[in-house]
Amino acid sequence: MSSHNHSFLSIIPARSGSKRLPDKNIKLLCGKPLLAWSVESALDSKYIDEVVVSTDSSVYADIAKSYGANVPFLRPESLSSDTTTTFDVLEHCIRFYKESLGKEFDYIVLLQPTSPLRQAWHIDEACEKIITKEMDSLISVCKCEHPPLWSNTLPENENMNDFIPKAVREIRSQDLPQYYRLNGTIFIAKTESLLTHKSFLTPQTIAYKMDNLYSSDIDSALDFTFAEFLASHIRDINGGGGNTQLKPKILYIPLLTPFATALSSHTSLSALDVAPAEAA
């Protein structure tokens, strides 16, 4: 429970119809259902007032409740299809709390269950930042492993002529600017702003930088396997504790960063606007 003058509702969307990795949101990660990692981090945050899981499955609901989340409704079938957008899910939850429970919150915190490695202190830092900076929304990001300037599309014949422009090739890698990408881990917005813009990305959005180690985004079996490896490593650093321990005093193995980046660089942009989201 928070002790400040702002109220935060954390919404964790967990649809049961994952196509690429069936029942992904309740698949055991280090012995704990995937969605439970996000539930526990949110509950351990000193800013989050209430944690709700939006799901269409009674099985998922029971699991979420067993870890301390609120599940005051089962999401209607109309909001559980492949075309359902993240905003649709958030709006439904916000309206339900207001109209059925008489509760309103200043901020909405979207925590996607496919990003299980975020810690409670990440959430706290992000909440504190959006308040102190007086912004309408906040989105977590992490460093790109490779500069986007080194990327391009390929023609049908796969000819790489001018794949990287000469002007770019002449720049030493250490002189290139640092690029960041969305990592899909934390999205926060003032409730009014979210309902107005139907997006977390607005002219008044600020970034929250996260280390790549905590930026895992699970979309495949390989992602899941590597996230489990990273989770075990974080747990070891924290002295055997869970995923909501204090900020580690020891830096992680440097070699982990490129792998973490490569495996999680496919982060979905669905939470930004109204595109369909499988995890939702």
Could you give the domains of the chain?
8-143+178-264 (3.90.550.10)
Q: How many other CB atoms sit within 10 Å of the CB of residue 130? A: 25
pLDDT, position 275: 43
Q: Which two tokens stand for residue 81?
A: 């299809």
pLDDT, position 251: 42
Beta strand pairing call for 107-110 and 180-190: antiparallel
Q: How confident is the model over 68-97, as a mean pLDDT?
A: 94
- Determine the Cα–Cα distance for residues 116 and 259; give it in Å rounded to an integer: 17
Region of 51 (left: φ > 0; alpha: ψ -120 to 50; beta: rest) is beta
- Determine the Cα–Cα distance for residues 162 and 26; give it in Å rounded to an integer: 46
Q: At residue 276, does pLDDT exceed 50?
A: no
The per-residue pLDDT for range 162-182, each reduced to its tens digit, is 999 999 999 998 999 999 999
Q: At residue 218, does pLDDT exceed 70?
A: yes
For residue 216, the SS3 value is: coil
pLDDT, position 116: 96
pLDDT, position 73: 97
| Residue positions counted in the chain | 280
For residue 29, the SS3 value is: strand
Q: Which residues of 110-129 are buried (b: 16+ CB within 10 A; e: fewer)?
A: bbbbbbbbbbbbbbbbbbeb
Please give the share of the chain, as a percent, with pLDDT higher than 90: 72
Query: What angle do the packed helices 58-66 and 34-44 form, to 10 degrees?
Result: 40
Q: How confident is the model over 140-157, as a mean pLDDT?
A: 95
Q: How confident is the model over 221-241, as a mean pLDDT?
A: 78
For the CA atoms of the chain, what is the radius of gyration? 19
The per-residue pLDDT for range 95-119, each reduced to its tens digit, is 999 999 999 999 999 999 999 999 9
DSSP state of 38: H
Q: At residue 142, does pLDDT exceed 60?
A: yes
Q: Which two tokens stand for residue 269?
A: 């942009």
pLDDT, position 214: 94
